[in-house]
A and B are shown apart, each in its own frame.
Chain A
Amino acid sequence: MLSRCLLFFALALADLTLAGRPASAAVREGEPVPDFVLPTMNGKKTVHLSDFRGKKVILFAWASW
């Protein structure tokens, strides 16, 4: 299963987390997702969404709380 996709966590860390943006600012289903970049957990590398073009991406966003 995992050979066909890339599964990654986006860690929404307690005080530094995903935010209260109005839903109107969001990308809608069926639209291309603009590229974004996030650091890895140890902060030593960054990962772009576009690194995974051509693969299915399953993103799991969670918080430690």
Chain B
Amino acid sequence: MDAQGGQAAAPYVNAAQATYPALVDTDNALGTLLGFTVVPNGVFIDERGVLRKVFQGDFEVSSPKTIMAVESFLAEPTAKGAAKSRKAPRLSDLEKQAQSGDVEAKIALGDAYNRLQRYSKAEKAFRRALRQDPASVAALFGVGVALLHQGHKAEAVVSWRAALKRAPDNYVIRKQIWVVEHPEKFYPAIDWDWQRRQPRD
């Protein structure tokens, strides 16, 4: 949806009459954290902040299986204490860390810039990461997001295709390409038959 952001999701959230926070993950923060390669996913985190369960690609909210899993999790006794978890790093910390030779640090900085909609800086950070590791799926993906938002759709797709070549089972990337190249197949309604007909190579 290019620059549409949360606007594209709003109709779904409104239709669901959601009473809980609806958040937008524009730069794959959760994909990074939890290793998502498909959606829809469910994640259970307990009172201590500990990851209890991840359901990848099979978390349909209305399915009996999902409802049972949610009810079972909620019925568990309260987890006591606080686990030691890392705080979200500040941008200044990420900028310092990216000065090192660490590819992941450069990618984290690029992600942060994308999240702040500072796409030119994000592109530079990802390109620095790619100079060190040209095969980095995360950097190829991230630079594609940055390029897209700077109006370079064709270049973004090239970068995503390179990422997909290295991670052919990643349907998040695959669908990303589809939706940018064929938005009419996704909005205002998803054409599932079209998706089934697409080659998977």
Contact = CB atoms under 8 A, between A and B. Distances in A.
Interface string B1-19: 1101110111011000011
A50 B85 CA distance: 9
A18 B44 contact: no
B49 A33 contact: yes
B22 A8 contact: yes
Interface string A19-46: 1111111111111111111111111000
Given A33-B51, A56-B73, A27 B34 contact: yes
Interface residues of B, number: 83
B132 interface: no
A19 B37 CA distance: 7
Contacts, number: 266
Chain A interface size, under 10 / 10 to 19 / 20 to 34 / 35 or more: 35 or more
B17 to A, nearest CB: 13
Q: How would you classify the secondary structure of chain B's contact residues: helix, strand, loop or mixed? A: mixed
Contact of A31 (B12, B37, B51): B51
A9 B23 contact: yes
Contact of A40 (B21, B137, B167, B178): B21
A56 B47 contact: yes
Given A1-B71, A17-B176, A25-B35, A31 B1 contact: no
5 contacts: A12-B25, A13-B5, A16-B145, A25-B138, A40-B24
